[in-house]
């Protein structure tokens, strides 16, 4: 079960939004909300609103509100795309003007319950890592000092 929220034309550069999005990607929704509340970046505010909106969308659209437990929800995907750029000019010395680009972002958040298939696929991957770690390292010869 998934729900999404798209916040468009946010007046923050996507590069700055991605820094905050990387901090909450793949986390539990409650954990992501706590991280965003204490993140001292301007991009955390619209991201927090978008995650809360996605949770509300899931609760509203699930029909039976008891089916979707908010404690089990994950931030499945979150990304910031580039929106339109506002172009302005700043006057400079000797009659010149330099361009100012005010970038905007489109933020997309997808939340959902963890799938059973994903949990089953994650276990073999962990077992493979354990197997690779247990292999002995190759012995290398030391070079002779001349």
Please list the alpha-helical segments (H only) found in 6-146: 14-24, 29-37, 44-61, 116-133
User: What are the pLDDT digits (tens) for 43-54?
Assistant: 999 999 999 999
CA–CA gap between residue 11 and residue 18 (Å, rounded): 14
Query: What is 2-132's CATH number, 3.30.2130.10, 3.90.470.10, 3.40.50.300, 3.40.50.150?
Result: 3.90.470.10
- Sequence ranges of the domains in the chain: 2-132
In DSSP terms, 107 is beta-bridged to 7, 80
pLDDT score for 61 = 86
CA distances from 76 to 26, 56, 82 (A): 5, 16, 20
User: What are the pLDDT digits (tens) for 29-41?
Assistant: 999 999 999 999 9
- pTM value is 0.75
């Amino acid at each position: 079960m998934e729900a999404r929220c798209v916040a468009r034309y946010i007046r923050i550069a996507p590069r700055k939004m991605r820094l905050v999005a990387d901090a909450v990607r793949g986390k539990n929704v409650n954990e992501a909300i706590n991280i965003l509340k204490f993140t001292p970046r301007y991009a955390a505010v619209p991201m927090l609103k978008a995650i809360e909106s996605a949770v509300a969308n899931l609760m509203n659209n699930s029909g039976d509100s008891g089916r979707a437990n908010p404690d089990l929800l994950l931030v499945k995907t979150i990304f910031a795309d580039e929106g339109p750029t506002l172009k302005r000019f700043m006057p400079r010395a000797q009659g010149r003007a330099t361009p100012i680009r005010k970038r905007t972002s489109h933020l997309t958040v997808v939340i959902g319950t963890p799938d059973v298939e994903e949990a089953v696929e994650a276990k073999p991957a962990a077992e493979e890592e354990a197997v690779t770690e247990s292999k002995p390292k190759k012995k290398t010869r030391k070079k002779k000092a001349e």
